[in-house]
Amino acid sequence: MAKNKYIKLYQLVIIGENIKKLIYTYNNKDKRSEKMKVDGKIKLYEAERFRDLREMITSSVKKYKDKVAFVIKHKKDDKNFTYEEKTFEDLDSDIKGLATGLLDLGLEDKRIAIIAKNRYEWCTSYLAVVNGVGIVVPLDKSLTDEEIILSLKRSKADALIFERNYLHIMERIIKEEDTNIAKYICMDEIENKENILSYKKIVEDGKRSFDNGNKRYLEKEINPEEMRIILFTSGTTSISKAVMLSHKNIVENIYGLNSIVKIYDTDVNLAFLPMHHTFGCTGFLFFLSNGARSVFCDGIRHIQSNLKEYKVSVFVCVPLLLEMMYKKINQEVERQGKTKILSIARKISNVLLKIGIDVRRKLFKMIIDNLGGNIRLVVSRSCCN
């Protein structure tokens, strides 16, 4: 019965091909879909070009002050959670507080490493350091103890911001290893540990100092072309390589993305890709530049539930993960015996798109609902670092 319905609809669509030119002409009046040549490249949307990352954050805070920038999940037990929302104004305040606190600790122009899973404190640490303190060194959260020590030595890091999971290696480095690390800062509250500072206390102290007139962070001049980021490649063929990046490298990427991908301030981004990678890091900055909300993934096994939980509309991933999701969807369609119906729906959708009619969300509602019901855009590319 359903099959006959789709066949009849398909026949009507073929008849509709006769008005294809008329609809095509009408759609081309929409300036948003017009392609423009900019610097010799195709550009779809007007985009703001930032001088540096601090200017980008300042712009977003001004535009989206009261909108939610991040959602933080706090686990009570295995089944109960609470959610904390951080607005752009909150984000700005935390960045200024942390940056001022780090400067008061004598870390101006120092190299500060960060190692943790994707979380709000990672984002504020990165932005505080790069936007007015010193040089940020993002480290791979999956490194072995020996690789962490080697990366700290090779980068000549002066300070390290880390989460509780790495406490054991920090204690070893303090006692046994010859590194440049002078300040150890833990993102999580821990029992009093000698030589380990509290991220929370540094932020609080920094906010008080800033409110009392200490504006060193804002007064620090940023050279967009100067090295302010040191990151390490994956090292798949040999030892990882250190890569030097500047503000200009990152903001130009953000400009390029905003020229070809439309993100709205109503979008919700699932921050799945590791932020120590340029892809994952540039991704979260890209969403901040558009006033979108970012949420954190609980792990690869929880992607589907997180998509539903947070009503995610944009998902950025690597091709391998996208291929896995595609196969899983096809397996479920086959299990339900709807392969032929899906094939017909695809043909209908393709023909309709050619004449400017998009009914994909209706035709593929079952699949979209399985991905949370709100997904509108998936961005995928390979990571090279």
Residue 64, pLDDT > 50, answer yes
pLDDT at 250: 97
Residue 146, pLDDT > 60, answer yes
Q: What is the mean pLDDT of residues 120-143?
A: 97
Q: What is the mean pLDDT of residues 75-81?
A: 81
pLDDT at 10: 45
273-297 pLDDT, tens digit per residue, is: 999 998 899 999 999 999 999 999 9
Q: Which domains does the chain have, with CATH numbers?
A: 53-260 (3.40.50.980), 265-273+293-385 (no CATH)
pLDDT at 75: 85
pTM metric for this prediction: 0.84
Residue 26, pLDDT > 50, answer no
Residue 15, pLDDT > 70, answer no
| Residue 40 pLDDT class (50, 70, 90 cuts) | low
Residue 331 to residue 280: CA distance in whole angstroms: 29
Residue 384, pLDDT > 70, answer no
pLDDT at 363: 74
Residue 52, pLDDT > 90, answer yes
306-360 pLDDT, tens digit per residue, is: 999 999 999 998 888 888 877 877 787 788 888 888 788 888 888 888 888 888 7
| Residue 30 pLDDT class (50, 70, 90 cuts) | very low
pLDDT at 23: 41
| 155 close to 113: Cβ distance less than 8 angstroms | yes
pLDDT at 282: 94
Q: What is the mean pLDDT of residues 137-165?
A: 95
Question: Comparing 99-113, 189-203, 226-240, 325-339, which segment has the lowest mean pLDDT?
Answer: 325-339
| 135 close to 228: Cβ distance less than 8 angstroms | yes
